[in-house]
Amino acid sequence: MNILGIETSCDETAAAVVRDGTHILSNVVSSQVEYHRRYGGVVPEIASRKHVENICRVIEQALAQAGIELNRIQAVAVTAGPGLVGALLVGVSVAKGLAYAQGLPLIPCHHLEGHIYALTAEGGQLPYPAVGLIVSGGHTNLYLIKGHGQYRLLGQTRDDAVGEAFDKVAKMLGLGYPGGPVIDKLAKSGDPGAIIFPRSYLEKDSLDFSLSGIKTAVLYYLKKHQIDPARDTEKVCDIAAGFQQAVVEVLVNKTILAARQQRVKHILLSGGVACNSQLRAQLQLAAKENNFKLYHPSPAMCTDNAAMIGSLGYYRYRQGERADWSLNARSSWPL
């Protein structure tokens, strides 16, 4: 069964063709980073306009790369939320139009659930039960994954998402946007013990996160020591290393705590920040030390893409999930 997946929740215009939920026939992503970089973050209006410009071309490329015509698609799966409502509306509108014109089932998909199914899109199997850590520019959530479509929220950020914190600290350091990859790179040249930034664990045994404090701590450190990012390059590397170590340490410790509390043996890591090399390495080490098994998609499948939506759409289709023509975008949507 061939599913056309469409993803436009933020600043990536993406389309993919996935067969039977586990075989990626094509996965096309058009990035908007260059348009948003000058502003230091995603501008919703620009994102929406770029989606309008790119969506048809991206879908055509996905079909061409898959080597199939539109009449060989059996269903259309689309991210309906959560995300930027204007961006979501582009993908939802096009998906509705295609499904209506071709007489195909329309399958609404949850963006965060899509990140979970990035693993199956690459041919893997979701482990049950498991604790899932989903970390991205807009989300920092811990879930108990009990089965297909069965989730319970265990913890979430109370302020900034982890990707957002990386972007804001990168901006303070004059490193540009997006901040995650460049901080990860610079941290390898820095000393994570040179500058100790605060770790926020909140209440005892809490699985929630708070990242605004460490962001403020970096700002105060820069002002107190009058750091000039253009001149003090060695110090910038130490700040990047110390900041990243503090963030990763909390993410890892709370994920392990969640797995212990829920008495599960499997941990799933996904979302754009799951590309971070230190997070992957330290969570892998902690999982091994505590007799848990860690699963994560390849880095290319961690960032926003449509193959994960096509994979999720297949399983949703099998469960009888369908949307009518009143389907609308949802900027917020609990999983």
Convert the pLDDT of each residue in 263-281 to its tens digit.
999 999 999 999 999 999 9
For the chain, residues with pLDDT lower than 50 are: none
C-alpha–C-alpha distance, residues 287 and 265, integer Å: 9
pLDDT of residue 230: 84
Of 142, 147, 117, give the one whose Cα is nearest residue 259.
Answer: 142
What percentage of the chain carries pLDDT values higher than 70? 100
What are the structural domains of the chain? 2-119+301-318 (3.30.420.40), 127-296 (3.30.420.40)
Please report the pLDDT score of residue 234 as a whole number: 93
**pLDDT for the residue 229:** 87
Say what the pLDDT of residue 271 is. 96
C-alpha span between 234 and 190 (Å, rounded)? 7
Q: Dihedrals φ, ψ of 293, to 5°?
A: -110, 130
Our measurement of the distance from residue 87's CA atom to the centroid of its chain's CA atoms, rounded to an integer in Å, reads: 16
pLDDT, tens digit (0-9, with 9 covering 90-100), for 8-22: 999 999 999 999 999
Q: For residues 58 and 78, give the distance between their C-alpha atoms in angstroms, rounded to a whole number.
A: 14
Q: What is the per-residue pLDDT across 305-321, written as a single tens digit (0 to 9) for each?
A: 999 999 999 999 999 99
Q: Please tell me the predicted confidence (pLDDT) of residue 206.
A: 96
Cα 244 from Cα 191, distance rounded (Å): 11
Q: What is the pLDDT of residue 214?
A: 95
Give the Cα separation of 175 and 183 in Å (integer): 8
Check residue 254 and give its pLDDT: 98
pLDDT at 246: 97
